[in-house]
Structure 1
Amino acid sequence: MALIVQKYGGTSVGNVERIENVAKKVIGYRAQGHDLVVVVSAMSGETDRLIGLAKAITPRPNPRELDVLISTGEQCTIALLCMALEKHGQPAKSYTGAQVSILTDSAFTKARIRSIDGDNIRADLAAGRVVVVAGFQGVDEDGNITTLGRGGSDTTGVAIAAALKADECQIFTDVDGVYTTDPRIEPRARRLDRITFEEMLEMASLGSKVLQIRAVEFAGKYNVPLRVLSTFEEGNGTLITLEEEQMEAALISGIAFSRDEAQITVLGVPDKPGVAFGILGSVSDANIEVDMIVQNIGRDGTTDFTFTVHRNDYERALEIVRAKAQSLDAREVRGDNKIVKLSLVGVGMRSHAGIASTMFQALAREGINIRMISTSEIKISVVVDERYLELGVRTLHEAFGLEQTAPA
């Protein structure tokens, strides 16, 4: 008998019929003899509805009161699911984040978990109950309700699994696992049976929306086996776990992409120490995150400096850099918010040469010009014009044979 923590997202509990469906799945797992803790999100669209109510009153709601409001979405779901379970004869008990004592810091709307008291949950499990916990929320040391940020229910599930030393944390969603790339872009994309924490973290940070980054970080830190499954289809999903020797055969695990990119180039800045800080310091002070950075080799005493930001921050960053460029004696500032980032991810890169050359050759064959390049031990990212996104993904998917069945 295993202890399993399951998390069901908003689409999985989007209405009463779907909540009933989740209850039947949970009862099926119980029938196999497993102990179950179920973490749920608010019903699909509910959190947005509650935020809309708050902003109808004031454009900038008090963060503490906003957390009080939006935490009620999950509270509805836990009660309804427990009712559905008990209707079918399965004893169940609901807990809000505060009732579990999911202790967080006091950063309202984006709190981080500090500790979890699992004693009450263990007692209920021992009594044969299914424990249903509200995701996305906790309580600070002063008793204030806090929320963990969008997608925070994933983090709740993983954190509870870590605290209880669960055998597995299962994330149920509207997809049946992690794919080599987005099947909507490449219909031949293949579902992965396994992927490492490291690879999943890279894919999540590079644009894959299957799991929240913080949840993957948490799972890797505490070695909590994660499995991504579909609520609506049967299957084994994708297991996310530590790297194993037999996984070395997988050269590339997947292709991630991000449409949310923008590029800023400062031309003709003096080639001397402190210029990079002069440009990026003011951008950082505005709480704008910088991703890829390239500085050209100096020529005639000047250099060009290019970096990328999230497209939502583009106009603000461009304004800041243009204001700063004058004091740096830069010749010109250019911007482009019609770019995308394509990334290869795979632990197999560590032990194989030639990945980059294969990637660049494949893109060149299709006439796709590379604007910027960034690499790490298990990742290669390139920036290209946004019109090449779909062609680039399909080209790389074919170049690395990702549609083929992985070796046994």
Structure 2
Amino acid sequence: MPEEQKLSQSLCKSKLYVKKFGGTSVGSIERIEALAERIAKAYQAGERQVIVCSAMAGETNRLIALGGQVTAYGDPREMDMLISTGEQISIALMAMALQKRGIPARSLTGDQVQIHTNSQFGRAAIEQVDTDYLEQLLEQGIIPVVAGFQGRNPNGDVTTLGRGGSDTTAVALAAALSADECQIFTDVTGVFTTDPNLEPAAKRLDSISFSSMFEMARLGAKVLHPDSVAYAERYRVPLRVLSSFENGEGTLICFDGQYHQAGKVVGIAVSADLAMVSFDELDESSDRLAVLFKRLAEMGIETDLLSKTRSSASTVSFTIAQSWLERVLAELDSVSQTLNIGPVYFEQDLVRVSLVGNNNLAKTEVAAKVFDVLGKHGIHVKLVSSSAIKLALVIPQNHLRSAVCALHHAFELNEL
């Protein structure tokens, strides 16, 4: 039997992994060479692999800045054409590093793979992935090295997927190829109970449910983008977070029915640099509030932890990223008469601290414990929001470290 046929049959029987490497992981030639060595060893051990690369660390920001030197408001189509080139550098260098080691590899853009998206430039959504070409390469023993973060719209234009888009690319490829696992390689060894920079006792989780991981990601944990978590759960893609700098098992994201820590707090997510805006609604009208929040959404401004309380007038409060505060205040000023609202107040330098579990976090004893712990440390809660899976609190940013450490200890997260 010819050697090529033996190789093809052997590879067809082996497991398939889609492996995504982020900007820090491919941030230098030295890092690319180290990863190529790791990928080559896995290939020689019989693994089938599809590699997804982000742009080198800082490259996308450099390209955005270049566009800003030409015009402050670049055409979205042209900006996508510009910033998509960052990933092309990474994939070409990675393919060359693999080929140097005698490993057959081929770099591919999103267009060459045929990752089909809608036409929302800068925040496109993947609609379909063609796998014929990728499967042909895999059958030939060739490692596809795919550009993350990008695809093509129905007109053939280059589109980008927005922040965290390379994670989504990897999950979409894994789903389309029915991969055994999608592995996201980062600069940390997995998902931790909280940010180790805030709490040195933070522990790496061996596993976490998709529901909890989605909340952790949505509420500030940066290890995975929430869109990729939702996509993986929807298409039943096994997902794992690993370190590209050291070996280890990482953290497996489990389907909810396979996870056995129900009812417990499993992590604390943090989102810093927030502001809170409040105003009195002088005549109650949900329609008018709908107009306001629709306008903010059109401006690309995301609001969170909306609260409406009733005293002599209805007070509406919500949180936003502090960087959006000036624009929000200007918008409120322009619509204040139309909406018939009273004086607008705001607070800056706030942070959201969110306890995430798997169930039963809405129980009163959980909230009672949280307020007791924070009260003993003199930490005043500005806003609170709860659900069965999370309890989110807005507090002054200067109390962030003490709050996280106290809550981490109180809920025994270092014992998980």
TM-score, with structure 1 as normaliser? 0.94
Cα 1:80–1:268 shift into 2, 3 Å:
closer
Counterpart AA for 2:49 = L
In structure 1, the partner of 2:32 is 19
Query: Is 1:319 matched with 2:335?
Result: no
Could you list the per-position Cα deviations for residues 125-182 of structure 1 after superposition, in whole angstroms to 9, with x for gaps in the alignment?
1111111111111111111111111321111101000000101000111111110000
TM-score, with structure 2 as normaliser? 0.92
Cα displacement (A) at 1:325: 3.5
Aligned mate of 2:280, from 255, 267, 277: 267
Aligned mate of 1:132, from 145, 157, 169: 145
In structure 1, the partner of 2:406 is 395
In structure 2, the partner of 1:336 is 347
Cα distance in 2 for residues equivalent to 1:327 and 1:85: 62
Cα distance in 1 for residues equivalent to 2:282 and 2:195: 40
In structure 2, the partner of 1:49 is 62
Comparing 157-166 with 209-218, greater Cα deviation is found at 209-218
In structure 1, the partner of 2:7 is none
Unaligned runs of 5+ in 2: 1-13
Aligned mate of 1:165, from 178, 186, 194: 178
**Is 2:359–2:388's contact at 8 Å kept on the other side of the alignment?**
no
Equivalent position SS for 1:86: helix
Cα displacement (A) at 1:385: 1.3
In structure 2, the partner of 1:376 is 387
Cα 1:263–1:352 shift into 2, 3 Å:
closer
In structure 1, the partner of 2:123 is 110
Equivalent position SS for 1:293: strand
Could you list the per-position Cα deviations for residues 168-220 of structure 1 after superposition, in whole angstroms to 9, with x for gaps in the alignment?
00011111111000000000000011111111111111111111121111111
Counterpart AA for 2:27 = G
Cα displacement (A) at 1:249: 5.2
Cα 1:53–1:86 shift into 2, 3 Å:
same
Equivalent position SS for 2:261: helix
Cα displacement (A) at 1:324: 3.3
Cα distance in 1 for residues equivalent to 2:357 and 2:296: 32
Cα distance in 1 for residues equivalent to 2:140 and 2:176: 19
**Is 1:269–1:275's contact at 8 Å kept on the other side of the alignment?**
no
**Is 1:116–1:160's contact at 8 Å kept on the other side of the alignment?**
yes
Cα distance in 2 for residues equivalent to 1:23 and 1:279: 51
Counterpart AA for 1:145 = V
In structure 1, the partner of 2:76 is 63
In structure 2, the partner of 1:190 is 203
Cα displacement (A) at 1:303: 2.2
Cα distance in 1 for residues equivalent to 2:73 and 2:339: 36
Cα distance in 1 for residues equivalent to 2:160 and 2:262: 41
**Is 1:5–1:157's contact at 8 Å kept on the other side of the alignment?**
yes
**Is 1:224–1:241's contact at 8 Å kept on the other side of the alignment?**
no
Unaligned runs of 5+ in 1: none
In structure 1, the partner of 2:114 is 101
Cα 1:316–1:248 shift into 2, 3 Å:
same
Cα displacement (A) at 1:322: 3.4
Comparing 231-240 with 74-83, greater Cα deviation is found at 74-83
In structure 1, the partner of 2:3 is none
Equivalent position SS for 1:304: strand
Cα distance in 2 for residues equivalent to 1:100 and 1:19: 22
Equivalent position SS for 1:179: coil
